[in-house]
């Protein structure tokens, strides 16, 4: 009988934000499957508990800490809980994010503000919560879920694209500052993904219609298997980056459906 493949992140500790569903849940499950102990952060405590239960049922170790990434103290508390209960944090995955389809002329200013708060300040808060300790230990990996929208601008998504461009620029600056410190910095840039809750709270019906989506429904209906990614595909990109040899830096991973235009 062949021996089981070694788990490549055995003994590592990871923190994942936005971990209660969709891409974040898939990332947390994938990290745990590779042997990492995982601290899960998101606002929905009941959903987090369900993800923890899945990890524990699979023989892994995980904790849940209700966290709003916009609140700096809560992100620091998430990392502190991870350090106290699991050990020093080796991997941070800044995954929490929101996406609103809005036409600029319709001035959905509350949605603009929420996009900036979660997608930019949330990433900054995550970095601030782990960077000093990683620098002191001379090891660590900061991975942020960006988007192909951080590389090009889509109509009806001007504010979202701007927020993801911020993530790309911030990550590149951090990467350059961390040369020689032992810290790696990666952005994961997914295209369209099936069955996430990213667009569920949109309110600008005109903008959504221009993008061919329906408010209140997850993306997926009307698309074939080659036009959307699965959440596990994005999680696989995170694992690819996190398990690269120590001398290798995976700076960016652009992952799109084969038939996405």
CATH number of domain containing 26: 3.40.50.720
- Classify residue 1: in a domain, yes or no: no
- Classify residue 261: in a domain, yes or no: no
- Classify residue 151: in a domain, yes or no: yes
Q: Note whether 28 and 55 are within 8 A (CB).
A: yes
pLDDT tens digits along 184-229: 999 999 998 876 665 656 787 788 777 766 666 555 555 667 688 9
- Classify residue 130: in a domain, yes or no: yes
Q: How many domains does the chain have?
A: 1
- Classify residue 2: in a domain, yes or no: no
Give residue 195's pLDDT.
62
- Classify residue 5: in a domain, yes or no: no
First to last CA, the chain: 45
Q: Note whether 27 and 234 are within 8 A (CB).
A: yes
- Classify residue 48: in a domain, yes or no: yes
Q: What is the pTM of this model?
A: 0.93
Give residue 227's pLDDT.
80
Task: Output the DSSP codes for 60-81.
Answer: --EEEEE--TTSHHHHHHHHHH
pLDDT tens for the chain, 261 residues: list them.
555 678 999 999 999 999 999 999 999 999 999 999 999 999 999 999 999 999 999 999 999 999 999 999 999 999 999 999 999 999 999 999 999 989 999 999 999 999 999 999 999 999 999 999 999 999 999 999 999 999 999 989 999 999 999 999 999 999 999 999 999 999 999 998 876 665 656 787 788 777 766 666 555 555 667 688 999 999 999 999 999 999 999 999 999 999 877
Give the structural domain span for 124. Answer: 13-255
Rounded Cα distance, 101 and 114, in Å = 12
Q: What percent of the chain has pLDDT over 70?
A: 90
Mean pLDDT (the chain, rounded): 92
Residues annotated as catalytic are 160
- Classify residue 87: in a domain, yes or no: yes
């Amino acid at each position: 009988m062949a021996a089981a493949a070694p788990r490549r992140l055995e003994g590592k500790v990871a923190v994942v934000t936005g971990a209660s569903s969709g891409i974040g849940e898939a990332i947390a499950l994938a990290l745990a499957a590779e042997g990492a102990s995982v601290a899960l952060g998101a606002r929905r405590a009941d959903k987090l508990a369900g993800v923890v239960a899945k990890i524990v049922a699979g023989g892994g170790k995980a904790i849940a800490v209700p966290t709003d990434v916009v609140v700096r103290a809560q992100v620091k508390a998430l990392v502190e809980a991870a350090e106290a209960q699991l050990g020093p944090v080796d991997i941070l995955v800044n995954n929490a994010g929101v996406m609103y389809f809005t036409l600029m002329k319709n001035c959905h200013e509350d949605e603009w503000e929420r996009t900036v708060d979660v997608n930019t300040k949330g990433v900054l808060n995550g970095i601030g919560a782990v960077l000093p300790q990683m620098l002191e230990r001379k090891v660590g990996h900061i991975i942020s879920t960006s988007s192909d929208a951080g590389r090009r601008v889509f109509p009806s998504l001007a504010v979202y694209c701007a927020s993801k461009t911020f993530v790309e620029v911030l990550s590149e600056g951090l990467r350059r500052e961390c040369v020689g410190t032992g810290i790696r910095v990666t952005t994961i840039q997914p295209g369209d993904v099936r069955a996430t809750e990213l667009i569920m709270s949109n309110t600008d019906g005109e903008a959504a219609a221009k993008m061919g989506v329906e408010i209140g429904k997850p993306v997926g209906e009307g698309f074939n298997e080659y036009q959307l990614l699965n959440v596990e595909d994005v999680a696989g990109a995170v694992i690819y980056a996190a398990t690269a040899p120590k001398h290798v830096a995976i700076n960016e991973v652009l992952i799109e459906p084969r038939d996405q235009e």
